[in-house]
A and B are shown apart, each in its own frame.
Chain A
Amino acid sequence: MSTRLHRGGRLIDRSRPLRFSFDGHPYQGYEGDTLASALLANGQMLVGRSFKYHRPRGFVASGHEEPNGLVNLGAGDRVEPNHRATVTPLKDGMTALSQNRFPSLDIDVGVLNDALGRFLPAGFYYKTFMWPRAFWKHVYEPVIRKSAGLGRVPQGRDPDTYEHFNVHVDVLIAGGGVAGLSAAWAAAQSGQRVLLMEQSPCWGGRAVIDEPEIDGTPASHWVDRTVRALRSMPNVRLRLNAQVSGVFDHGYVLAAEQLEGAGPRQRLWRIRAGKVIAANGAIERPLAFAGNDVPGVMLASAMRDYLVNWGVSIGDRVVVVTNNDDAYRTALAIHRAGLIVPAIVDARPRPDGELVRQARDLGIRIEAGRGIAKVTGRRRVSGVKLCALSGEGSPIEEIFCDAVAMSGGWTPSVHLWSHCGGGLSWDDDRAMFLPDPKRPPRNHNGSPIVLPAGSVVGELRTAAVIGSGARAGAAAVGADAPEILAHDAEEGPFLPVWIMPQGAKTALKRKMWLDFQNDVKVSDVELAAREGFQSVEHAKRYTTLGMATDQGKLSNINGLAVLSNALHVPIPQVGTTTFRPPYTPLTLGTIGGVAKEHLFQPVRRTAIHEWHQRHGATWEPVGLWRRPFAYIRPGEHVHAAMNREVLAVRNGVGLLDASTLGKIVVKGPDAGRFLDMMYTNVMSSLPVGKCRYGLMCTENGFLSDDGVVIRLSEDSWLCHTTTGGADRIHAHMEDWLQTEWHDWKVYVANLTEQWAQIAVAGPRARDVLSKLGGMDLSREALPFMAFAEGKLGGFDARVHRISFSGELSFEVAVPANQGLALWEALMQAGTEWGITPYGTEAMHVLRAEKGYIMIGEETDGTVIPQDLNLGWAVSKKKPDFLGKRAQERSHMAGGHRWKLVGLEPLNRSVLPEGAYVLGHGENANGQRNAEGRVTSTYFSATLDRGIAMALIENGPERMGQVVQVSNKGGQPIEARIVDPVLYDKAGDKLNG
């Protein structure tokens, strides 16, 4: 049993007990505990079941690398799955549930998989569930998903808030151990901006556990002193509980900070750093011996952490198994705590360092050149069987114990170095992948972004770690490194051990775990190698090695060493899998930050938006705008509203909020020439005071935008764009002006939001405006396609005679702050003619009846003006315009293009949106050939039947023909090809 000792625990406050529950059982811990230390203090060693075989699992680590101790944390809307209990500060009232077990942690039916483990090797799913094919979707996948899932998804909305924070620093230091602190100290002397972040709640890293001597004082004193000194410096900022999560191009760095108390729950730091010092330490390696996953087997350093930090012992009798001197510190700590170390099993033939001698002097039995053949016990360690390291695993003797502390050496956490492309090289002596100083990740100037320090560069002794940190900190600011002296025990050499014993046969290898969470064993990696997986990236995906939530922090190096051995190629040739951010998983809330619920996305509102809202508008999103789709009266159906609005415009007068249309002013001596390049037709010849409809194409000839251009003065024009096109067309103009025609004297300004614009359309439109008074809007004074500026009923107005409905129509622009007042004045003035606000759907129907095209309906980026019978708006005379050359290409200019026509359904119905016009026969894929498609389809209240526009092969030459239109789930619908202009073809109304 693990338990709390009566003494010790540097982080806990025994005067402040906290209550919590795990799987419904009430427990007690102390302030300063993690959930893991508190569970262990209560003897709760079993905390989860493994992913595939549902093996009982206990804690193996004490930090972020923990693969087993994942819990569902919280209750109700605050449930969070896959929380690592080892880094979860204990809170009063905390509730946690174990994961991946059914029906309970103690009795799990999935453990059957373990008994069948021989039949569930790597790639089992790929091999087994292939047949019958339909079973995958309906049988296999649902069952596998149910048995596999880790954690539960919260059911409600997340009640917490999150935020981002942007900072620019000269030097960011990741890791607040002694390397990070000395780096911060060295960098801070320069006066440059220094930010030091530590993922845990306390400073000092491993040094404060082992207390080497630094600068003549115990490490914890030096850490306190250094932190105090750094805090007093105005250019230095320190953050605990903040994990540097990823390093990106140009020194952009993300860090996640866990917050306490009121306010946001987590903060995502978005840091622009000149230099990043990666001082984020190393992670201890497990050893691969049979039964290394049995609860009670733990990393030696973790066992020491629980003892020193939280006063928790993992067992009374602890066998230490190691290939290095550091694990002896665990043995010594356990011995000093009054517990028993029956043996230190050392893989090395002749261990002889200072710590080894201390252990020997204390009378601790050291078994040199030995390994563990097998751990006995199932839900808890009951003993270990020793063997010769170099043999096949014949047991020499069994030692009874209730815990095993293992250490396979240390693996530098090179993640931050590697995220942005830093190269690694294999150090054969230390058996580590280390940052290759010749291949750092570089910024735009070619200088290194990341400087690695401390254990990240493979240093494990205190003096070297501190020296490396100080040098990195000084190098980051271009200064000389301060000298900081340190002393710890001399250590003997380490011996790489990838499997134990070295000659183990398959039966043992099937019980040697590499990836604890994903149940990947030595035998699985070897099988992958035998089946031809040579790339480490492929072997990873085939076996799922390193794909768990811990992303292989414990398993990768052992796994690739096993793969290297199986492939008979050296480790550096096998290489590592790719290190990708984030270092540990980030919650979606943190990534989203403040952008949730009403702040999820900005909604653009016109000056008249509130009025629309008060008058029953249902909304259509257009870009980020919301435009009224239709104004629904109480009890009215949306279709009825739309039809009412259409008929009101045709028979009386309607109002449309057209404020969202883009309005771009173009001015300068070269403005006319510029617009002649932008538009397919000629704009330079437009007289002042007149309007002209224009088309814009991309340089590939495809129709990109349309709208009315007006000439304001001799050297200035105003270009109207589509609602969605305003920003894009403005950028398009600037792009050409700044890059291609930089010597042309043209200024453009996007004034879309400066004006509110209201379309007054219908036979009574002039009557309504005349009632406001102030401007002569007669047919003679203001003919179709002219505009005038003046005071309209007290408003500063620009009145355009343009029409998108086919009716007599005026578009009135006023400064946006006057928009609502104008709208209300028009509603008032039009009362006697039944003035009716109409939405975008009525606008669509009106324009379709008139045969007007709509960008985004009749166009989709593959349509040229000629396809839409708009050749009249494409200049034949101009020497050039954007798209001219492209439109002359053979497949654009030749026959067989799909061209615009109207479609009249024979049964008067509304054709399905996006339907195809069916051709003869089938294509190579056995699909029915198409000879066109429906681009717009509506119910026309004016004609009392369905109307449609379509692009049909050679359509205009096929007037009167009946075609078949696809109808999903039903018989094709017959429709006649007709002229798309169905309303007032002569234009009498519009010119009225």
Chain B
Amino acid sequence: MADAVTLAEPLGMIGLRGDHGDERVRAAVVGLTGTAFPERLRIEGTSQRGVAWMSPDELLIFVPRSEVALAVDRLATDLAGLHHLVTDVSDMRVCVRIEGPDAREVLAKLSPADLHPDVFGPGLFRRSRLGQLAAAFWLEGEGARVICFRSVADYAVALLRQSAADGAVGHF
């Protein structure tokens, strides 16, 4: 039985660029998500409420979609006077769910990242490639979550479905 690949319900997503070492930035993020502040290559919390490390000065914050506008305002208030950039990016990307025992191999067919369980465990977040697509992914629920740009949502689902349908490699 191949892993199931489906498009997830739209997520609430906020992009934040700022100094990760700044206490105000850390406090604003943690105050919003109720999680720890993510270290390099990590995600804290989940796609419903959490925060992922995107680059040395960029985060992606997940909140319920209904709370996005409020959260953007709150960040703007908390970070007033500090050099930063907050953007509502909820419509920019889609989330794809891979549910099943072989999610790791479905991803490894497409991404050059090291997905060995010793390295890619729960809480790890990789911005990488899936075939020709830019994508990020992490383990969540009974499988994995992928985010990619909305314009390639159909392609991403078809690509992941084909990789799932092609079956397990039996490597990990």
CB within 8 Å of B: which residues of A? 161, 163-168, 193, 237, 262-264, 267, 270, 272, 593-595, 598-599, 601-607, 624-625, 665, 667-669, 716, 745, 747-749, 751-755, 815-817
Contacts and interface: CB of A to CB of B under 8 A. Distances in A.
A749 B109 contact: no
Interface in B52-110: 57, 83-85, 87-93, 105, 108-110
Given A264-B167, A594-B131, A595-B131, 19 more contacts: A163-B163, A164-B109, A165-B169, A166-B115, A167-B171, A263-B167, A599-B155, A602-B156, A604-B151, A605-B152, A668-B83, A748-B85, A749-B85, A751-B87, A753-B93, A755-B91, A815-B91, A816-B92, A817-B91
22 contacts: A163-B109, A163-B163, A165-B108, A166-B108, A166-B111, A167-B108, A263-B166, A263-B167, A272-B112, A272-B114, A594-B131, A594-B162, A595-B131, A603-B152, A603-B155, A604-B151, A665-B85, A747-B84, A753-B92, A754-B90, A815-B90, A817-B91
A238 to B, nearest CB: 11
Contact of B91 (A161, A599, A665, A816): A816
B152 A754 contact: no
B70 to A, nearest CB: 15
Residue among B88, B153, B166, B171 with the highest chain A CB neighbour number at 10 A? B166
A161 to B, nearest CB: 6
Contacts, number: 117
A625 B151 contact: yes
Nearest to B89: A754
Instruction: List 9 tightest A-B contacts by C-beta distance, closest first.
Output: A604-B151, A747-B85, A816-B91, A168-B114, A754-B92, A747-B17, A602-B155, A815-B91, A753-B92
Contact of A165 (B88, B109, B162): B109
A232 B25 CA distance: 49
A751 B92 contact: yes
Contacts of A167: 108, 116, 171
Contacts of A593: 131
A165 B171 contact: yes
B10 interface: yes
A241 to B, nearest CB: 13
A594 to B, nearest CB: 6
Contacts of B155: 599, 602-603
A195 to B, nearest CB: 8
Given A193-B116, A599-B158, A599-B162, A751 B131 contact: no
A716 B84 CA distance: 11
Contacts of A625: 151
A163 B89 contact: no
B134 to A, nearest CB: 9
Given A747-B85, A815-B91, A817-B91, A606 B17 contact: no
Nearest to A752: B92
A906 B133 CA distance: 49
B15 to A, nearest CB: 6
Interface residues of B, number: 45
Which of B57, B90, B109, B151 is packed against the most chain A CB atoms within 10 Å?
B151
Contacts of A752: 92
A503 B156 CA distance: 68
Specify the main secondary structure of chain A where it touches its partner.
Answer: mixed
Contacts of A607: 150
Contacts of B167: 262-264
A447 to B, nearest CB: 19
Contacts of A815: 88, 90-91
A753 B83 contact: no
Contacts of A624: 152
B36 interface: no
A625 B151 CA distance: 8
Contacts of A594: 109-110, 131, 159, 162-163, 166
Which residue, of A606, A753, A816, has the highest number of chain B Cβ atoms within 10 A?
A753
Contacts of B87: 665, 749, 751, 754
Contacts of A164: 109-110
B158 A749 contact: no
B131 A669 contact: no
A85 B112 CA distance: 34
B64 to A, nearest CB: 15
Given A193-B116, A604-B151, A751 B89 contact: yes
Nearest to A669: B83
A607 B153 CA distance: 11
A45 to B, nearest CB: 40
Contacts of A166: 108-113, 115
B133 to A, nearest CB: 6
A168 B112 CA distance: 9
A598 B152 CA distance: 13
A716 B86 CA distance: 11
Of listed B15, B85, B111, B116, residue having the most chain A CB within 10 A: B85
Interface string B2-35: 0000000010000101100000000000000000
Nearest to B129: A166
A749 B15 contact: yes
Contacts of A665: 85, 87
B57 to A, nearest CB: 8
Among B18, B93, B110, residue most surrounded by chain A Cβ atoms (within 10 Å): B110
A214 to B, nearest CB: 29
A748 B87 CA distance: 10
B147 to A, nearest CB: 12
Nearest to B161: A599
A237 B87 CA distance: 45
Nearest to A816: B91
A602 B109 contact: no
B82 to A, nearest CB: 10
Contacts of B105: 165
Nearest to A267: B169
Contacts of B156: 602
B139 to A, nearest CB: 17
A602 B17 contact: no
Given A594-B159, A668-B85, A602 B91 contact: no
Given A161-B162, A606-B151, A815-B91, A168 B171 contact: no
B1 to A, nearest CB: 13
Nearest to A606: B151
A598 B88 contact: no
Nearest to B112: A166
B85 to A, nearest CB: 4
B152 A601 contact: no
Q: Which of A264, A272, A745 has the most CB of B within 10 A?
A: A264
A644 B103 CA distance: 51
- Residue of A167, A624, A667, A752 with highest tally of chain B CB at under 10 A: A167
A747 B87 CA distance: 11
Nearest to A605: B151
Nearest to B93: A753
A624, A665, A749: residue with the most chain B Cβ atoms closer than 10 Å: A749
Contacts of A165: 105, 108-109, 169, 171
Given A595-B132, A606-B151, A753 B112 contact: no
Contacts of A668: 83, 85
Nearest to B169: A165
B92 A602 contact: no
Contacts of B93: 753
Nearest to A750: B92
B65 to A, nearest CB: 10
A601 B132 contact: yes
A605 B150 CA distance: 8
B24 to A, nearest CB: 15
B10 A817 contact: yes
A624 B148 CA distance: 15
B162 to A, nearest CB: 6
A602 B88 CA distance: 25
A166 B10 CA distance: 30
Contact of A602 (B90, B112, B132): B132
A572 B161 CA distance: 54
B107 to A, nearest CB: 9
